[in-house]
Copies of this chain bind each other. A is one copy, B any other.
Amino acid sequence: MLPLDRLKTLTKSTPSKIILVVIDGLGGLPNPHTGKTELETASTPNLDNLASKGICGFTEPISPGVTPGSGPGHLGLFGYDPLQYSVGRGILEVVGIDFDVKKGDVAARGNFCTVDKGGLVVDRRAGRISTEKSVRLCELLNSIRIDGAQFYVLPVREHRFALVLRGEDFSGDVSDSDPQALGVPPSPIEGSSPGAQKVAHLANRFVEEAKRILKPHYPANMVLLRGFSQHPDLPSMGEILKLKPAAIAAYPMYRGLARLAGMTALDTDTDIKSEFQTLARHYDGYDFFFVHIKPTDSAGEDGDFDRKVFVLEEIDRLLPLITALEPDVLVVAGDHSTPALLRGHSWHPVPVLLSSPYCRPDTVKEFSEEACLAGGLGRLPAVEIMPLAMAHALKLEKFGA
């Protein structure tokens, strides 16, 4: 793998255009009744046509056997080695609610919880209070003012919220206040470096204030914080790849991940057809497009094999909206597999296809797990996809003389 700083020395801006379609949870496992995976079952003439003309294979999202979360699964496809770069849980939570997180920000996941008179945690989820109640409590907590940071308290769902601290010279390397146990008090938040101690001090002050404000709001009379993390400060795709990149995603988390990589998140309606139309509408304004399609993953997570097949067929039917744009490079990939059989993300390599006038076609005639076994891309780390796309778009200079 070429490190980003060396890749950067090779990249150049050109008018050519790259589209990366990420079908979330694309890879599957065979249906025990038919022996065919979701993708093998789906009728996908347009994808098959692309596979015939293009080059196919598998991406290994992280490392063999390792099941990726959505963060590392996408970082890899965007060209960031997920073993080197990471998006912490707090940051992922706030980008997932469309909060515009800035460099330097530290974010944490929060729970409203219940403590007894002695201050011991008796319910880590405050009886799962309603989202409406949580929104009102977050408004109360947003009145907290402490010198040294701005605090943003953001409702998520039910008892869950997120906290962002914005200030100077912060580090997110601080411990949780959530003891993950009952009958004990919340833990004091601690940090070892100076930047982390600063954050720990401010977060502890916030917790004190929150406790005071929430006292009359039993069962939500206290907060627990965990997963503190800092904006990952990724080198942007504009800087490294010299692209003007845009993201089209129905779900906030994927828009947020794209923004972390320096993409502009375009406004879009959330069905697949609308996403593709959004792409077409903005086609002249950018030279890289990340299009995220979520319902395949949701169907896999629900264990709904047939619905995943249906979504794949829908994507295929709508694909001409994209191919009509005649991009220089079209990549169809997945961030990970989500086999309906496993009802969740899995470690299995993910089918991928790359279509371009300059690809060397292989013998694959169909976009499926079985067919991709014979693909010319073989099995390659997901992080290699962007350099390959850049190469096929003729956006990479020669390495060495």
**In the complex where A360-B348, A361-B30 touch, is A387 in contact with B69 (Cβ < 8 A)?**
no
One of A153-161, A209-217, A370-378 at the interface: A370-378
Pick the contact of A64 from B27, B361, B387 — CB < 8 Å? B387
Q: Which of A86-94, A173-181, A297-305, A309-317 sits within the interface?
A: A86-94
Chain B residues contacting A37 (CB-CB under 8 Å) are 360
**A341: CB under 8 A from chain B?**
yes
CA distance A207 to B398 in the complex (A): 30
- Please classify how large the interface on chain A is, using the bins under 10, 10 to 19, 20 to 34, 35 or more: 35 or more
- For A69, the closest partner residue in chain B by CB is B400
Contact flags A383-401 to B (C-beta < 8 A → 1, else 0)? 0100111111000111111
Name the CB-closest residue of B to A371.
Answer: B363
User: How many Å lie between the Cα of A384 and that of B379 in the bound state?
Assistant: 14
A303-345 interface code vs B (CB 8 A; 1 in, 0 out): 0000000000000000000000000000000000000011001
Which residue in B1, B92, B376, B397 is a CB contact (below 8 Å) of A63?
A: B1
User: Which chain B residue lies CB-closest to A70?
Assistant: B401
Known: A376-B373, A390-B65. A2 touches B83 (CB 8 A): yes
How far, in whole Å, are A191 and B328 apart by their CA atoms in the complex? 43
Please, which residue of chain B has its CB at the minimum distance from the CB of A72? B400
A53-73 vs B, CB cutoff 8 Å, 1 = contact: the mask equals 000000000111111111110
What residue of chain B has the Cβ atom nearest to residue A93's Cβ? B401
Q: How far is the CB of A245 from chain B (nearest CB, A)?
A: 17
**Nearest-CB distance from A373 to chain B (Å)?**
6
Within 8 A of B (CB), among A353-372: 358, 360-363, 369-370
Which of B66, B363, B378, B398 interacts with A345 by CB under 8 Å? B398
Interface status of A6 (Cβ within 8 A of chain B): yes
* Further 7 A-B residue pairs, CB within 8 A, beyond A30-B360, A65-B396, A67-B396: A1-B63, A27-B360, A64-B384, A82-B400, A87-B401, A346-B358, A347-B391
